[in-house]
Amino acid sequence: MSNIIIAIGSLIIFGTFLSSSNRLMTGNTQIAQQNEYYIAALSLAQAVIDEAKTKAFDEQTVSAKILVPSGLTSSDSLGKEGSAEATPIPDTLGVTGAYSSFVKFDDIDDYNSYSRLINTPRAEGYRILVKVNYASETYPDSSRNIRTFCKKLAVFVTSPFFPKIQKAGILVPDTLQILYAFTY
C-alpha cells in the first residue's frame, strides 16, 4: 500500500514539474519570436538609413556648396520637391527590385513623411515611416525649426507581430524608433 502512495505522489510531482517546464519553454519560444521580429525591424530601419546616406544633404547641396545654413531648404519645406520625386504611399518593392525612393530621391529631406510597406519571408506587414527635421549640431537628438547643418532622420517601424502596448488607454502594436543625425 505504501508503494502505491509513493508512486501516486511521484506522478503528482512529475506532473507539476512537466507543466512548469512546458510553460517555461512556451514563454521562451514567444520571447525568441518577438526578438526575431525586432531584429528584422532594426535591419529594415537601418536599410532606409543606409539608403539615405547615399543622398545629398539638401536639395541646395545636390550640385552646389552651401556656406551658411540660411542657404538650405526651410524647415517647413522639408520633403519631396515635386512630382518627379513622388513615390507610392506606401512605397513597395518594385519590379526592378528597388523601392521608388532609391531612384527618385536625391537628398535626405526627401524622406520626410515617407512610408514603406515591407513583407519578409518570415513576417508580413512591416510599416516604416520616416520623419526628417533640422537638429542642433551639438545636441542632434533635438528638433529645430531653424536651418542648421544637422538633420535628424527618425525611422519608425511597426509590425502586427510586435507585442501590444497601451497608449492613451488603447492597445497598439509597439513601435521601434531609430534616429540618425546627418551633418554637412
Q: What is the pLDDT of residues 22-74, one digit of tens each?
A: 665 565 566 767 888 999 999 999 999 999 999 999 998 988 888 999 999 99
Give per-residue pLDDT as tens, 103-143.
Answer: 899 999 999 999 999 998 888 899 999 999 999 999 888 88
User: What per-residue confidence (pLDDT) applies to 64?
Assistant: 87
Instruction: Name the residue with higher pLDDT: 98 or 82.
Output: 98
* Res 183 pLDDT > 90: yes
What confidence score (pLDDT) does residue 159 get? 92
Contact call for residues 110 and 55 (beta carbons, < 8 A): yes
Neighbours of 55 (CB within 10 A): 19
**Quick one: pLDDT at residue 95?**
76
Mean pLDDT of 166-176: 88
- Which alpha helices (DSSP H) does the chain contain, by range? 2-53, 100-104
pLDDT of residue 133: 95
What confidence category does residue 17 fall into, taking pLDDT thresholds of 50, 70 and 90?
A: low
Residue 97's SS3 state is coil
* Region 15-24 average pLDDT: 64
79: left (phi over 0), alpha (psi -120 to 50) or beta: left
Residue 81 DSSP one-character state: -
**CB-based contacts of 93, cutoff 8 Å, min separation 6:** 99, 118
Q: Taking the model in full, what pTM does it have?
A: 0.80
